[in-house]
Structure 1
Amino acid sequence: MKRTRRIARIERESMERDMENLQDRLSDLPDCVLHNIMKFMNAKHVVQTCVLSKRWKNLWKSSLNLTFDSSDFLWVPVFNNFVSRVLSCRDNSMSIHSLDFRRKGCIGPKILHEIMTYAASHDVQQFTINVNLVLKQDFMLPSCIYNCPSLKSLKLYFWFPYAFATHIKLPTSFNLPTLETMYIKHVTFSENENGCVEPFSSCNMLNTLVIDHCYLLNATKPIHISNSKLSNLTIRSFRGDGVTYEIALSTPNLSEVTIQGFPDHKLSSMCNVPNLEKVKIEVTWYESFPTNHVVLISMLQVFAKVKILTLSWKTIKTLNDLLSTSSFRTQLPAFVRLRTLKLKMKSFSTMSNMAVREMVEYLLHNSPATNVDVLKCCKCSTLYPLGI
């Protein structure tokens, strides 16, 4: 009995020594390593590290990465108060590498303005907003955020902002010289003093742009996407309030494009696109919408020099209808550089294999030897030459 107790005591003391050594090793790590650990934690958990030891008591105040997520809180006022307290207690001499603010449920613009102002004044590099913003009047983003010289990544996701017929307005031009990536959702573009809509031309380092469910205040004006560095562009359901309008591309280094959703826009290009590699047209057309053919032709004409082209089932069906009309048939471009055509087919479709093959053959009649890649039910068939 005594022997058993003695062994248990020795094991307990050994475990306590191991825990003390582990704590000492953790405390001996430099601040940069501990801050890197905090990078993978939400702000709530980062602040809670202050109870671990004296070493951690004020360490959270100099954290370079902040992630605010309302799902960690039961009550909205508690979450809003937590955000304000963290920002006010943080070491103001420290810059911010990334700030991510996610809010489930509705918020007003006041706290959003506070976060954006704080981020911009602390040289933020990566800034993400994902909120359901309820407005009683139009809201203009604080000028500090679109004039932030340190910003490299900007992601603005706004949900249901039109409940009160209001708009989240973007500036007529972004002055972000180091910005490389931009994602924007449910925001409104407007024209500048010269009557042009050209918001991205001053973003000299912009490489990736995603425009998702955005709105054009004056749908009679074309929006110009002008940027010499842009290589990756995604447009999802760019809406013009039911009016077909134009997007003019001036992007000579464009290499990859994705068009998704319900397109209400025609495309045009103001420059050559010699580096265009991949294009995906994965859209859902309005039934009996009169401009479907015009919109699709404008896309194909702009992307005529692509090397890899992916078409969704709805696009294939619309293209097949288009080819039945001689006036539209003559407007199709020649895909002189196309190497692979990918078709996303439904398992059960109303189009026969013969109709699909005739459509593909006509589409590629001026193309080089092209592989056709047929995808069904998320599974891809083997590549095979078209043989024409």
Structure 2
Amino acid sequence: MANHEGIHLNLKASPVKNYTGGVAADDIPDEMIHRIQSFMDARLAAQTTVLFKSWRRAWRTRPDLDFRDQDFPFPWIQFQAFARTTLQRYENRNQRINSFRLEMGTVVDHHLATELIVKAIRLGATNLTLRIRRTAGHIMYILPYEVLDSETLAGLSAHDCQIILLFGRKEVSWSNLKTLNLSHAFIYGDLFYDLISKCTSLEKIALDRNVSFPALFRAPRRLSPSCESKIKLLKLKSLQLIGLDRRDYIYRHELWPKFPCLKELEIRDVDSNNYDWTGLRICSPSLELITIYTYHNKIRNGAFDVPNIRKFKLVGNYLPQLDEFETSSSNREWKSDIHVQCYTFTASWFSSLSKLLIMLSPSRISLSVRMDSKYFPRKSVYSGDGGLPTRVENLSITGFYELCFSRFSAFLEALLQSCRPNCISVDTRFTGNVNLEALFQRLGYRPCETHDSSGDQQYLIKFQRI
């Protein structure tokens, strides 16, 4: 029995009735079998060929090809023969394909990867997923010009490669490209001017730790009128930026919100030296989902004007400083999900938390706090800012060290001066021998049942405000 993505295959099962009520499962149309196999990885899908002749025939004519050299005991010999033979069969039958995934290492040169990619494009592949691993001592793979010149390409996911745009002298022909995913790519040209602005059908972009080398005159300090006009033509709905690089124009604060159709924005810093969050401004009438990961740098003087926000998620090591968070959404329409670390048990930290929650108080707030120090005092250092603590729907408390009762009690009391949660979840792995039930009862909370006892959930104890 094989089980993958909710699909169950019993290789010893007897024939079953097909979709027309016929006699044998061998009569299932190829299109239906292709659909089933598309939910599996290549190895599992290949195993279905032992079921019936129709399943083997469908496997040999599938429109979605997935080539990975790691599936072979001797990749350099067996993989070459398999990949070339498979594509040759499609060429001989003049059979079209829809998507092509290639994951392989380059041992001597890049000729085999280029040969397979070019053939896939000629066979009509509209979606490419490419991960060409670099061997030590060899240069990074260069994306073939046949990919850049494809006018039918709808989706491209390329990892560990070079894209040679010749600093604006090489034009791309991606007029139908809707999704673009680039990670660890070196781009010789301006990522925005020479690539993204030329793809007017783009709806989703994901950029992960890419390096762009724009010509000096193509990196203006302010948005130019020509840049504004290009942005207005784009249909971009989802933008994900990971490993922000302040050298690249696409990462500038004032660029993101100007996409007129943008609904989802995710930005992450993964390096302590490459991005400055100070003065972050996001003013967009279209944005509905904002996700920010700030692991190394703190947001200072941030301002958001997002009238149609539905969810704001922030994950980071530091509490952000927001000057304003403007929205016309009511508290029933949008949510805030805040995940922060607490390194220092100080009054200023809890005061910053209180100010952040007040700023987000029109939303339904979920707060997760991780205690990352065992050197907390045994007595609370915070007594609130004088006002009523902000209401929080759910509060989750986790940590790394086991704390004694007095330290955890002091932390909890300070936390409840900053917010007023309806439900609190505590990870018992870091609270040691603390009598949680007695402590929470004193603070006005009673235990409540947890229905999920799998994984990390089994260590959680939940309390409800009385």
Q: TM-score, normalised by structure 1?
A: 0.65
Q: Aligned partners of 1:155, 1:209: CA distance in 2, in Å? A: 10
Counterpart contact for 1:266–1:294, Cα < 8 Å: no
Q: Aligned pair 1:155/2:241, yes or no?
A: no
Q: Aligned pair 1:110/2:164, yes or no?
A: yes
**Relative to structure 1, is the Cα distance of residues 184 and 201 closer, same or farther in structure 2, using a 3 angstrom cutoff?**
same
- Residue of structure 1 aligned with 2:409, choices 347, 354, 368: 354
Q: Number of residue pairs matched?
A: 333
Trace 1:231-310 onto structure 2 (pairs within 5 A).
Answer: 231-237=288-294, 245-263=300-318, 265-272=320-327, 273-274=329-330, 275-283=333-341, 285=343, 292=349, 295-310=352-367
**Relative to structure 1, is the Cα distance of residues 293 and 385 closer, same or farther in structure 2, using a 3 angstrom cutoff?**
closer
Q: 2:465 aligns to what?
A: 386
Q: Aligned partners of 1:21, 1:244: CA distance in 2, in Å? A: 55
Trace 1:65-104 onto structure 2 (pairs within 5 A).
Answer: 65-71=127-133, 76-77=138-139, 79-80=141-142, 83-84=143-144, 86-87=146-147, 92=150, 94-103=151-160
Aligned to 2:414, what secondary structure does the other structure show?
Answer: helix
Partner amino acid, structure 2, of 1:302:
M
Q: CA RMSD in A?
A: 4.9
Q: Aligned partners of 1:346, 1:211: CA distance in 2, in Å? A: 27
Q: 1:10 aligns to what?
A: none
**Relative to structure 1, is the Cα distance of residues 41 and 224 closer, same or farther in structure 2, using a 3 angstrom cutoff?**
farther
**Relative to structure 1, is the Cα distance of residues 218 and 100 closer, same or farther in structure 2, using a 3 angstrom cutoff?**
closer
Offset at 1:124? 1.1
Q: Report the more deviating stretch, 40-49 or 204-213.
A: 40-49
Offset at 1:258? 2.7
**Relative to structure 1, is the Cα distance of residues 128 and 283 closer, same or farther in structure 2, using a 3 angstrom cutoff?**
farther
Q: 1:203 aligns to what?
A: 259
Counterpart contact for 1:140–1:170, Cα < 8 Å: no
Offset at 1:157? 0.7
Q: 1:124 aligns to what?
A: 177
Offset at 1:222? 1.5
Among all aligned residue pairs of Structure 1 and Structure 2, give the percentage whose two residues are the same amino acid. Answer: 11
**Relative to structure 1, is the Cα distance of residues 185 and 279 closer, same or farther in structure 2, using a 3 angstrom cutoff?**
same
Q: Aligned partners of 1:267, 1:245: CA distance in 2, in Å? A: 7
Q: Report the more deviating stretch, 308-317 or 255-264.
A: 308-317
Q: 2:32 aligns to what?
A: none
Offset at 1:185? 2.0
Q: 1:51 aligns to what?
A: 88
Offset at 1:22? 5.1
Offset at 1:46? 7.7
Aligned to 1:146, what secondary structure does the other structure show?
Answer: helix
**Relative to structure 1, is the Cα distance of residues 48 and 348 closer, same or farther in structure 2, using a 3 angstrom cutoff?**
farther
Q: Aligned pair 1:185/2:242, yes or no?
A: yes
Give structure 2 stretches of 5+ with no counterpart. 1-48, 70-79, 98-119, 214-218, 430-455
Q: 1:3 aligns to what?
A: none
Partner amino acid, structure 2, of 1:226:
C
Counterpart contact for 1:256–1:278, Cα < 8 Å: yes
Counterpart contact for 2:365–2:394, Cα < 8 Å: yes
Counterpart contact for 1:278–1:306, Cα < 8 Å: yes
Q: 1:141 aligns to what?
A: 191
Offset at 1:140? 3.7
Q: Which has the higher contact order (CA 8 A, sep 6+)?
A: 1
**Residues 155-211 of structure 1, C-alpha deviations (whole Å, 9 max, x = no match):** 11116899xxxxx9998575464222111123345999xxx9422222233222111
Counterpart contact for 1:261–1:284, Cα < 8 Å: no
**Relative to structure 1, is the Cα distance of residues 72 and 301 closer, same or farther in structure 2, using a 3 angstrom cutoff?**
same
Q: Report the more deviating stretch, 125-134 or 255-264.
A: 255-264
Partner amino acid, structure 1, of 2:339:
I
Offset at 1:154? 0.5
Partner amino acid, structure 1, of 2:424:
V
Partner amino acid, structure 1, of 2:191:
L
Counterpart contact for 1:245–1:264, Cα < 8 Å: no
Q: Aligned partners of 1:171, 1:69: CA distance in 2, in Å? A: 35
Partner amino acid, structure 1, of 2:464:
P
Q: Aligned partners of 1:191, 1:84: CA distance in 2, in Å? A: 23
**Relative to structure 1, is the Cα distance of residues 57 and 374 closer, same or farther in structure 2, using a 3 angstrom cutoff?**
same
Aligned to 1:67, what secondary structure does the other structure show?
Answer: strand
Q: Aligned partners of 1:230, 1:305: CA distance in 2, in Å? A: 17
Offset at 1:133? 4.3
Aligned to 1:143, what secondary structure does the other structure show?
Answer: helix
**Residues 276-334 of structure 1, C-alpha deviations (whole Å, 9 max, x = no match):** 3241223465x6999856754443232223324222223899999997245xx317774
